[in-house]
Each structure stands twice: as structure tokens, then as C-alpha cells.
Amino acid sequence: MGEGIRAAKVVSLLKQPGDKIELDDQLCELETDKAVYPVESSFAGVMGEWKTKVEDNVEIGQELGTILAEPGTNDAEDWAEEMETAAETSPVQQPNGAANSPTHHSSPVTRHSPSISPALSPTITRRLSRVVPANLQIDARWDAIRAARADAKKSDGKNAASPSVMIAWSVVRAMEKHASFRRIMLDDDQIIENDPFDLGIAVAIEGDRLATAVVTHANTRDWPDFVKRYNDTVEETRTGRVDAVNAPIVISSLGAFGVRAAAPIVVPPSVGTLFIGSAHFDTVSSGKKKETAEVVTLSLTFDHRIVNGAGAASFVHDIKQQIEAFQIPAATPR
């Protein structure tokens, strides 16, 4: 499935028990890092039983299902022998035009570049086709986060919680107040609300690929547990872990590149994606006066099928208030 990837999610089962299978038929699809890969059959025969189901996470080497193979037709050793023989006897045109075989009917081998996977998998693209997206943006002052980060460094040193974790905590607190942003939309367009609920974190990995780290039961964790789970799941995702994403909100950022604002996409089952811009100085209102302050831009893309504009504006405004008043929480179980 690719270097460093140890697990994947089953997104479709393309054959049912009893279905006839030909060599190289696609049996199922696995999703890793938002790319979908088909699993093809090495045998002809009949589909036996599946040992997994859609939405399951599976690891390298795990048995997915069984095939009742037709005896003698596609034995792996016979196939290998056949391919080896073909490699020995098939003439290949040499650069000088002479063939490596006595026959005079050789033709040059056509070499095709390997196919390139799209940035978004077909599964993601299909889900996007149903979304009714809308976007709104608001600035939040950065003073409280910067002060909390400085305090954390004094007490925890290298293990201090990052501003990203502090923002994630703020988002969870706002989600608790807004039922619409604790909901997800399933493939059959059914809307459900989960409590406890998860939080998604977009993670960039090698090769300009994306994956989503999931802080499970985010609203039930106290501060130390939340920080640890956040850091662990992001690191595990970077090294190949794939989780089923049932998070109502996914947080995304390109702050390392100095991007101040963007309009992210929202992928079902999530109801929204929140983009956090890089901190920068801008003019803000303070009562009747205007002053220069350090701010971040919060850009929320939401699915209009689930929530309207006023509800989304109220939600992102609550996130702003949580960020602007942030303090390191006491280690009290929630």
C-alpha cells in the first residue's frame, strides 16, 4: 500500500459471496491517505466469504476474504512459469534496431509512465458532489494563545502544548454549544448526532498527500488527556495509521507556509472544515477605537444541507471567543 503505510480503511466490497470472479477482477477498495486502491484477484473462481466489512480498518497481511479458485487455471506457480517463459522468448527491439531473437517480426516495447493518482480519491470526489458548500471568515485575536503558549513553555518546557492543540480545545468547547456541529451526514443522507463526538485534524504527509487524524471522544477528555491524544494521533497518522473519519468538524491549517486565509472543502460525513490561518498583524476594532493587533483568520466551510448561515456564524463566533479568552484548563475530568 506504499512505504510507511501499515493500515487502510475498507470503503467498498465489489463482489458478493457466490459471484463469479475472473483473473484481475477488482474485489474491494481500500482507502489510505485519501487515495483509494483496488484489490484485484490473482485467481479466477467464485467469491467465498468476506472476513471484513465496509468502514473496517485493516492492516498489512490481514485476511480480507476467501476465493474458491478454479483448480489448475490460475495457479500462482504456473503463472510465474508462464511469465518467465514469455520473458525469455519474446523478442525485444534493441536501441540499434536489432532484435534479441532470430525472428524478424519483433517490435519495440512501448513503455508507459505509471498512472498518477488524483489528489482526491474517487470516493472523496463522489461525496463532494452532494455537498452544498458555503464559507465565512472571521478574525480572532492571538494574544491569549500566545500568552498561554509562553506559560506552558515555562512549566512544561519541550512538552508544552502547541497553539494547534489550544485551538482544537477551543473548537471542541464551541461544538458543545452548537448541536448542528456535532452532527454528521451518512452516505444515505441520514443526519445523526453523536455524543461523545470526535474531532478531525488534517495532516499533511510525504508526497503532498493528506490524511485525517481523529481525536476520538474529544469532548470527554480533560486537558492532559486531550493534549496527549491529540499529539499521539497526529504522529500515528503521519506514520501510516488510517482511522474511520466520523468527526463533525475537521481542522486544517497551512500556517507553516504563511497562508493567512483559505476556503477549505468539507467532505461528508463531516459538516464543516475550519481553516486556521497564520498569525499576522491587522487593524481591529476595540470599542470606538481601532488598533493594530495580532490575529488569525478563522475560515469555516460548512455543508448548507445541515446548517444555515446564521448558525454557522454563531458557531465560528463562539470559536473566536474561546480563542480570545483561552487559558490552560485545570486537569479536571470532564
Residues 231-282 have pLDDT tens digits of 999 999 888 777 778 899 999 998 788 899 999 999 999 999 999 999 999 9
From 17, 24, 30, select the one nearest 240 (Cα to Cα).
30
Q: pLDDT grade, residue 116 (50/70/90)?
A: confident
> Which grid coordinates are listed for 314?
454563531
Q: Please give the Cα distance from 217 to 228 (Å, whole number).
A: 13
- Alpha helices in 46-162, H assignment, sequence order: 76-89, 122-128, 143-156
pLDDT at 76: 45
pLDDT at 104: 43
Q: How far is CA 73 from CA 18, 70, 85, in A?
A: 18, 6, 17
**Cβ atoms of residues 323 and 143 within 8 Å:** no
- The residues, any chain, with a CB within 8 Å of residue 160's CB and separated by 6 or more, are 149, 152, 153
